[in-house]
Structure 1
Amino acid sequence: MVSTTTTKPRTPAAGGPAGTPAGQRPRSPYPTWFYLPAAILYTIFFLVPTVASFWFSLTRWSLFESEFIGLENFVQFFREPALVTGMVNTVIYAVVTSGLKVVLGLLLGVLLTSQIIARGFLRSVVFFPVLVSTIGVGITFQVLMDPFGGLINETLAVVGIPGPGWLTDPSLALLSVALVDVWKGVGLATVIYMAGIVSIPQEYFEAARVDGAGTVQQFRNIVLPLARPATVTVIILSLIGGLRSFDLIWAMTRGGPGFTSDVIASVIYKQYQAGFYGLSTAGNVILFILVTAIVLPLSRVLNRKEVEL
């Protein structure tokens, strides 16, 4: 007896070519080519110089020759008396400037997002120092803070207050430069806080007012928690800028008087000036490691707490 069973035609397997799910087109590699120019620039201007810096920090080099000496540059750098002072000053400078920028930026952000007179003009005034050249700011305040004939001390003398040596007193020089840094950079922190405060839904404030919450309670229970992403951003950016600060300090004090306002970057620059290129390159590597060791863990901790909230 002949079987009459017929075989059904095979249907294509679910999914497209190369395991693509059914109903979807295979992903084209074309868009990934747009990453190539950025990757090339990143490699040329960041990766290659970074690797070269690590290599040259292990050598005694000049423009025409180099000699591998291992970790000798790092050992010698840590024996420099100015390095300990520079590292302590760097941390103090970064903490003071970032802390003041967070506090003042938050207060100014709250003020400039409220209904006050001439709000747009005040915003421009606060942000204007950010646009000014850092070297120009340093030279200007160097003149203003001159202990003999400077405008600040002359103004204090009018009211009978003897002005201190802002940049010549070893106990005040670093703090004076830090205050100028805060004056110049607080505008950026204010803008970041303004963006964070404006993004808070107004329904929260309306509900708080209905419940009888005052201005201080709204600030503590609404603005502070919901502006946390802005706070994290300001802290990280300010810390990085403070740890890497050089131009303002060099323009105002050049690390003086003595080594009292020296930071790591100014110590490195002085080594370059003296012709110790390998030693100064080792200092750059130390600065890179210091910034990474402080900022990266702090960023992870702050962002993790933000997610938990």
Structure 2
Amino acid sequence: MNRIFKRTYSYWFLLPAALIYFVIFILPTAMSFFFSLTRWTLIEWEFIGFENFVTFFREQSLNIGFKNTLVYAVVTCGLKVILGLLLGVLLTSKLRTRNYLRSVIFFPTLVSTIAVGIAFSMMMHPSQGIINTALAAIGITGPDWLGDTRLTLLSVALVDVWKGVGVATVIYIAGIMSIPSEYYEALQIDGGNGWRKFWNIILPLSRPATNSVIILAFIGGLRSFDLVWAMTKGGPGFTTDLIASIIYKQYQGGFYGLATAGNVILFLVVSALAFPLYAYLNRKEVDL
């Protein structure tokens, strides 16, 4: 009896966290699922079943939005993994300015995403932007970064990578620094060079860091909205529309139930892609 009391007593310490989790996550999620089945305003609602979902899937730009969202997530995730790993290796070396460079690389993460979007929109202006001006100074005619439908999504993705690679770098730095020094000593005894150090030690033993970066970057790419909206508002046309920007446009139009259904669909899409990826990466990590 005393043992049961002690076990029950310890569970009471979980109650504050459970209440916070319920209020902040469970309750809003349940309300979102409910209101996605209604036509609602701030003062009234009407239950309409799955009509919002049917209407959302008939959205003209939805196919483009799904494709753009997936491409955007894959590109930004891949570049953050590659650049984060390379910068992590560089900034854990014996470079004398590594502490200063760590601060410089992480700084863009602290800047407002909207501010970054507005700043790069001006920098990428085809005739007055600093990027094309610099290219013109060396005899290169710069493209219309945000006006050319072939470049716009990639341009925004590169800005996203510039802003977010600092987080990936920090994760890799922590992962690389946690590798026991005995591995490096053994490699040095065997006469291994820098390439073997990277390929045989750093790359495989930093897999947990790689998995974390992939999951965070991929989910962030699927949910991305603010940077795209600040730079292009989904244009030109629908060429940079993501699922999140389509949902926002529906909110702007006053179709709150429809937009809520879109959020539910986005939540399901992210879950359907992220959870299997997470399980796959964890299985590969265990196999290693």
Bucket of the pairwise TM-score, normalised by the shorter protein: over 0.9
Report % sequence identity.
65
The 5-angstrom pairing of residues 97-246 of structure 1 reads 97-246=76-225
Give TM-score scaled by structure 2 length: 0.97
For 1:230 and 1:63, the matched residues in 2 are separated by 44
Give TM-score scaled by structure 1 length: 0.91
Equivalent residue letter for 2:254? G
For 1:42 and 1:202, the matched residues in 2 are separated by 40
Structure 1: 5+ residue runs without aligned partners? 1-16
Aligned twin of 2:8: 29
Give the match's secondary structure for 2:155: helix
Task: Kindly provide the CA deviation profile for residues 237-282 of structure 1, in whole angstroms up to 9, marking residues without a partner as x.
Answer: 0011100000101111110101100100000000000011111111
The 5-angstrom pairing of residues 246-261 of structure 1 reads 246-261=225-240
Aligned twin of 2:266: 287
Equivalent residue letter for 2:209? A
Task: Kindly provide the CA deviation profile for residues 81-112 of structure 1, in whole angstroms up to 9, marking residues without a partner as x.
Answer: 11111111000000000000000000000000
Instruction: Kindly indicate which of the two structures has a greater share of residues assigned to helix.
Output: 2
Shift of 1:289: 0.3
Equivalent residue letter for 1:290? V
For 1:34 and 1:143, the matched residues in 2 are separated by 52
Give the match's secondary structure for 1:67: strand
Task: Kindly provide the CA deviation profile for residues 18-57 of structure 1, in whole angstroms up to 9, marking residues without a partner as x.
Answer: 6x5xxxx962533322211111111111111111111111
For 1:291 and 1:281, the matched residues in 2 are separated by 15
Aligned twin of 2:74: 95
For 1:28 and 1:112, the matched residues in 2 are separated by 47
Residue 39 (structure 1) aligned with residue 18 (structure 2): yes
Equivalent residue letter for 1:90? T
Q: Which has the higher contact order (CA 8 A, sep 6+)?
A: 2
Give the match's secondary structure for 2:39: strand
Task: Kindly provide the CA deviation profile for residues 195-232 of structure 1, in whole angstroms up to 9, marking residues without a partner as x.
Answer: 00000011101101111211111111111110000000
For 2:225 and 2:174, the matched residues in 1 are separated by 29
Which of residues 64, 67, 70 in structure 1 aligns to 2:43?
A: 64
Bigger Cα Rg? 1
Structure 2: 5+ residue runs without aligned partners? none
